[in-house]
Every structure is written in C-alpha cells, then in structure tokens.
Structure 1
Amino acid sequence: MFFTKIILATLLLSAAIAFEQKCFFPELARDFDAYKLHGTTWYTGLQTNDAVAANIKCERAGNFTETSTGFQTDFRTFKKSNEHIDWVAHFTFLRSAVYQESKVKDVENVLLERDFAFISDYLNYCMGILCSAEGQWIVWIYFQTKTPSLTNIAAAYNELQRLGVSTQLYASQCEKAH
C-alpha cells in the first residue's frame, strides 16, 4: 500500500509539472513556402481553445501570394453569430518558417501580435503555431476540406509531436459554416 501511494504521488507530481510547463517556440528546419499553397483553399479543422477561436466557427484561407517581405493570404472568418468577415493578412518573414502579421485588424488580433510558425506538408495540413504571452500554445490547423480525413489529421498530429508541441485541440465547426 505504501509503495502504491508513492507511485501515485509520483505520477500526480509528474502530471502537475507537465501541465505547468510553458510553451516554447519550436525551431523549424524548413521554411514555409507560400507559393506551394497558391491555388488551394484551406479550412480550419482543429484549433486550441483560445480567445480568438471562442468567437469563430470556421476560417477559410486562400489566395496565398508571395510578397517582397513574406506572403499574404485572403481569409473569410465565419463567426458564431452567423456573420462572416473577409480580410487579407500580410505576414512578414523573420526567420525560417517564422513570420509576424504586419497589420493588426481588430482587438481580437492583439493576441496575435506575436511571431507565427507556419508549417505545411502542402497536401494534408497547413498550420499556424504561436506561443502566447502567457506561455500557452495557440495552434490552428487547416485542411483542404471542411471534413478532413483521418490521414490528414494524423499527418498534422505527427508533425506537432515531432515539433514537441503538446496541447489540447478542438474540432472546428466548418461543416456548419456557409
């Protein structure tokens, strides 16, 4: 019984330490190539439960275009209030696969005034990752359909694991967005 209590206490302490760890910005070996996404459309499929996601049903990204300073993409954000907003995001290159949004659009985007890591295998997933000021992961994973396949999801999860990104993800509501 004594050893069971020690083992249980050790497991609880390990879990508590793991949950208290702050996120770190992953070092990325390869750059993000927006040109490879040109002509494709991507929909959020999985994301963290962050302040921005709380008001959004789904987001569609398309028209990826390289610029002299990085890349830009067109977004249509479907809000939970059944409205949508069309906007263009401009991302400035900082270092390999790391960009910063050039212009803040509204109060919700104040959260996103941080560096973004963009990762894609250009077939299964495209994701944006950032580490919030509070040390929490913010992850948005986009897929080429509103209902991604198990193969698409597994490819994205495997990449997150390879990068050491550990967070709980939630399904978007893209299938309900019009």
Structure 2
Amino acid sequence: MLTLKNILCISLLMLGISIEINLAKECKIPENNEDIDWDKVKNDWYLVLHTNDEVMNEDVIGAKLQNFSNTNEGMQMVVTNLHENSPPQTFTIDRTKRIDGVYYGMKSEKPAVLASHTLTQDGGTNNNAKKIDDALFNGDILVLYDKKNYLVHAFCSLSGEWVVWSAFPTLNPTIHQISSMWNKLIEKGIIVQLYPSKIVEHPELMESLN
C-alpha cells in the first residue's frame, strides 16, 4: 500500500505545484507527444492515482492493465477492474492511434465494458460515471509512458476538466516514480490533484486475482 511517507510526499508535491502555478490550463490534448511501441510494454501495471472522478470515487477501487500489443489501428490491452458494487470485470480494450501518444477510445458493446465503470449498489447506472465513459469512448486520450516509472491515461471530460488515471508497475510506487509522473504532467500542462486508489489500502484484493 502507499505508505504515509509516500502520501505526505504526494501532498507536498501538489502543494508545490499549486504555489508555482496559480491557474490551471484548459483541458486540451497537447501535440508533439512521444510514440509508444506497445509490443515492448511488459509486466502488469496498476492504477494507483486518479483525479477522483465519478468513475473512481463511486465504484472502481482499482485496476490492472496487462497484455499490451500493437494493432493495425493502434493498440490493444487487457484491463481488470475491481469494483465495490460488483465482481471484478476483465475485458479487452482496443484504441485507434491518432498521432504519437494520442489515441481514440473505441466504443465497445461488450456488457463487461459497458458496465465496468457505471454500476451502482442497486445494480442501476451511475449517470455521472456514464458521462466520464462517454468522454473516454468518444474523444482523444493522451497516453504518457516512460518504460519503467509510469503509464498515464489523460482525457477531457464533457465539462472540460482533466480526467487522469495514473498506473505504475507496483501498487506501492517510489517517490522517484511519482515525481517522474508529476514532472511529465506539468510538462504537458496538466495541473490536477490526484488521489490514491482504494486498492492500495487493500492490495490483497488485487493479489487474489493472480
């Protein structure tokens, strides 16, 4: 799990950012991003930090990303989401490459994908989470990856705010890994506050899937 020291360092990093930059930049996918060879993305990656959007603060408590590969259109990966309101869901995601580092989320009709982010405790649909999904599946997604420290997905919500989901090769990232991610977000003009996923407090839930 994230240690208290790590959480404190995250808070200090965010405080430093807020002091240095008074106004957050508008949500706009930047150009001139790094290309990613998905066939070389190895190991499993875990969603550790996020913007506490409606998907992450209601139902999804963590995620594992794995089995990455290049496709003719762009990329493919396998995602396992852990939920508070339903059993884990594992599904394949395909994305079309726009330009280097920018992908288009292809809408899936698979029940596992459609329900993965939007379930409520009574089995209904969280409409606010669905809006996040609508933005995810109908707009550009910026992917930031440096091969060993972080794998970030960032996109604009329908209301024009950044949604950022940051994965690491461990559920307990080092301060170096976290600061490397922050530096890249700042470089891209993405100024957000991030929160630990609930799964970092209960890593045994993710380990039980292995």
Under TM normalisation by the shorter chain, which class is it? 0.7 to 0.9
Which amino acid in the other structure matches residue 99 of structure 2? R
Structure 2 unaligned blocks of 5 or more? 1-20, 119-129
Q: Which amino acid aligns with 1:119?
A: L
Q: Aligned-residue CA RMSD in angstroms?
A: 1.8
Larger radius of gyration: 1
Contact 2:135–2:156 (CA<8 Å) still a contact in 1? no
Query: Secondary structure, in 3 states, of the residue corresponding to 1:160?
Result: helix
Counterpart position of 2:194 = 169
The alpha carbon displacement at 1:125 in A equals 0.3
Residue 115, structure 1, aligned to residue 140, structure 2: yes
75, 87, 94: which one aligns with 1:71: 75
Does the Cα contact within 8 Å between 1:59 and 1:77 map onto a contact in 2? Answer: yes
CA contact (8 A) 1:98 1:118 kept: yes
Tell me whether 1:86 sits opposite 2:90 in the alignment.
yes
Letter in 2 for 1:152: Q
- Deviation at 1:131? 1.2
Structure 1 residue 103 displacement after superposition: 2.4
Structure 1 CA distance, aligned partners of 2:33 and 2:141? 15
Deviation at 1:170, TM superposition (A): 0.6
Aligned equivalents of 1:48, 1:36: Cα separation in 2: 28
Instruction: For residue 40 of structure 1, give the secondary structure of its aligned residue in structure 2.
Output: coil
CA drift at 1:147: 1.1
> What is the CA distance between 1:25 and its match in structure 2?
1.4
2:183 is equivalent to residue 158 of structure 1:
yes
Larger strand percent: 1
- The CA deviation at 1:145 is 0.6
Identity of counterpart residues, as a percentage?
27
TM-score, with structure 2 as normaliser: 0.71
Runs of 5+ unmatched residues, structure 1: 1-13
CA distance in 1, matches of 2:81, 2:49: 15
Return the alpha-carbon distance in structure 1 between the equivalents of residues 32 and 90 of structure 2. 30
Scaled by the length of structure 1, the TM-score of the pair is 0.83
Q: What is the CA-CA distance between 1:174 and the residue it aligns to?
A: 2.4
